Amino acid sequence: MSTPRGIDLPRAAAAVRELLIALGEDPEREGLQDTPDRVARAYAEQFAGMHQDPAEALSRTFDVDHDEMVLVRDIEVYSTCEHHLVPFHGVAHVGYIPSKTGRVTGLSKLARLVDVFAKRPQVQERLTTQIADAIVDHLDAQGVIVVLECEHLCMSMRGVRKPGARTLTSAVRGQLRDPATRAEAMSLVMGR
């Protein structure tokens, strides 16, 4: 098995074993023997974005001479709430107005960028902001709009127990901050 970048798998596995003991479980029973190693590998995947560079996700650009909005809607997002370490999931809508030179990135790279930031311990507000700022910084975009709609399992399966409640967050940058343009972009993003 390859060692994921920046993650100490044996230490993570030892911590999971300790957690099982603290919860009153027997980590030696048959069903749990491989669990610490398995959870460590699963966490390495879940938090892989901590060791990835957003600039890399956006490094490939194309000169297509297009300087109007490009929008990818309904990008599936799985992230982890940093307060409870349980998932929040939903969709991201990412739109941008390319730089004046009309250089665009590959569409899949916007989804890769979402993953770089989603696969970290997060709050939804920061995740939304980081995606928008990276597009401004690395694509020199003239405008950006990012909207996330997520359900937080820490609100559904425990605590306040409100399954189905969805949290909307947005981040708008550059030309899209103008109120009329912003309203138009928001209606496109929300599919109305």
Ligand X SMILES: Nc1nc2c(ncn2[C@@H]2O[C@H](COP(=O)(O)OP(=O)(O)OP(=O)(O)O)[C@@H](O)[C@H]2O)c(=O)[nH]1
Q: What amino acid positions are annotated as catalytic residues?
A: 81-84, 124, 152, 154
Of the pair 116, 139, the CB lying nearest ligand X is at 116
Q: How far is the CB of 88 from ligand X (least distance, A)?
A: 6
Segment interacting with ligand X, rule: CB under 6 A, options 4-12, 22-30, 147-155, 179-187: 147-155
Q: Are 128 and 114 in contact (CB under 8 A)?
A: no
Q: Using CA atoms, how far apart are residues 107 and 81, in angstroms rounded to an integer?
A: 27
Residue 123 interacting with ligand X (CB under 6 A) = yes
Q: Estimate the crossing angle of helix 124-139 against helix 107-118, to 10 degrees.
A: 140
Question: From the list 81, 94, 185, 189, which residue makes contact with ligand X (rule: CB under 6 A)?
Answer: 81
Partner residues linked to 168 by β-bridges: 149
Residue 150 interacting with Zn ion (CB under 5 A) = no
Residue 166 interacting with ligand X (CB under 6 A) = no
Q: Are 70 and 104 in contact (CB under 8 A)?
A: yes
Partner residues linked to 145 by β-bridges: 95, 172
Residues lying near Zn ion in the complex (CB under 5 A) are found at 81, 83-84, 154
